[in-house]
Amino acid sequence: MDKVTSLEVAKRAGVSQSAVSRVFTPGASASNKTVLKVREAAQELGYRPNILARSLITGKSRIIGLIVAYLDNYFYPVALEKLSNTLQKEGYHVLVFMASNDNQSTEQVIEELLDYQVDGIIIASVGISNDVTARCEAMGVPVVLFNRTQDQKSHSSVTSDNIEGGHTAAQFLCKAGHKRIAYIGGWAGASTQRDREAGFCSGLKKSGQILFARALGDFSTDIAKDVTREMFAASSRPDAVFVATDHMAFAVMDVLRSELGLSIPADVSVVGYDDVPPSSWAGYNLTTLRQRANLMVEKTVRLMIDKIRDPGVAPMHLKINSPLIVRGSAKIPEGWST
C-alpha cells in the first residue's frame, strides 16, 4: 500500500498541511477543533507521521539518549522509568544504550547515539572522559550527568548530596555506640563512591574515630559477598558497616546472617544508601539513605530541556539531600530523631 501523506490528511480534514504538522508536533499549538478533525482524518486514512523524516527537516529528533552501565541495581530501573515518563510528558522519547565502566566503551556508545541525531544525552552510572563530553557539546548535543559528576564542571549534573549522606551515616553509627565501623564501597572510579566515602570518613573523624576496615565491592553483589567474608573472617570483626548501595547491602546482610550466623543488628549494624523498594521488605528492613529519585529526575529533565532550548544556559550542579530512613538493620542511637 502507498503511504498516506500529510497533504492527503489535510484535504480530508479540510485544513492546511501546516495544521496537520502542528497537530503531530509535540508542544505545537492547534485548536481542539483542528486536533479532532485532523486525528479523525488520519485514523480514517491510516496515516502515521514520519518522525525520522521530520527530524531531517527540523534538525530535532525529539529523542534523548540515556547511557547506563548496569540495571541490576534497583535504583537505575526505577530512575529509568521515571526519566522515560517525565521526558514523554515533555514530548521526548528515551533511547537506552548500555556501556561498561570504561571510557572506551562509553565513547563507542556516544558515537552511536550521535548517529541517531539525539537532541541530548543523559549519562548515568558510567565513567566518561572530559574530552568526549566536550565533543558532544561542540556538536550541539547537550550532556547532563545523572547520579554522577566530573572533575571538569562544564556539564550540568544532578546527584544526591553524597558527602552529606555519608557524613550522616557515620554520625548515626557513632552515636549508637559502635567502635569498629567498616565501609564497603562501590567502583573506585565513580564520583558517588568517592563522595560517600569522603563524607563517611569525615563523619567518623568528627566523632573521634577512623575506619576500622575498608573494602570495595565495585557495585557487584558477588564481589560484595566476597569482601564481606574476608572482612569478617578476622578475629576482631566490625560491629557496624556502611555499604555504599542498598544493592550491595543486601548481599552483605545475606552473608552475615546466612553464612556467618550473625544477628543484625545485635551483632552488627548495617546501613545502606539508595532506599530502593526491597529495603523496606521485612527480610531486609534496611536502614538507609534515601536517594530522592523523583526530584533527581525532575531536575535532570528540566536541565536538559533548558539546555536544548537555550544552548547558552550555564551548567548547573545540583545536590539533592538524602534523608536517613531508619528501620531495623542498625542500632538506633538514644534520642535520635527519625
CATH for the stretch 162-291: 3.40.50.2300
Indicate the DSSP class of residue 280. Answer: G
Interatomic CA distance for residues 167 and 204, integer angstroms: 8
The pLDDT score that the predictor gives to residue 49 is: 76
The number of residues making up the chain comes to 338
The pLDDT score that the predictor gives to residue 327 is: 97
Stated pTM of the model:
0.83
Sign of CA dihedral 264, 278, 246, 259: positive
- The answer for residues whose C-beta is within 8 angstroms of residue 193's C-beta and 6 or more apart is 185, 186, 187, 216, 244
- The CATH topology of domain 58-160+294-320 is Rossmann fold (3.40.50)
Ranges under pLDDT 50 in the chain: 1
The pLDDT score that the predictor gives to residue 1 is: 47
Q: Which amino acid is at 248?
A: M
Question: Which residue spans of the chain are classified as CATH 3.40.50.2300?
Answer: 58-160+294-320, 162-291
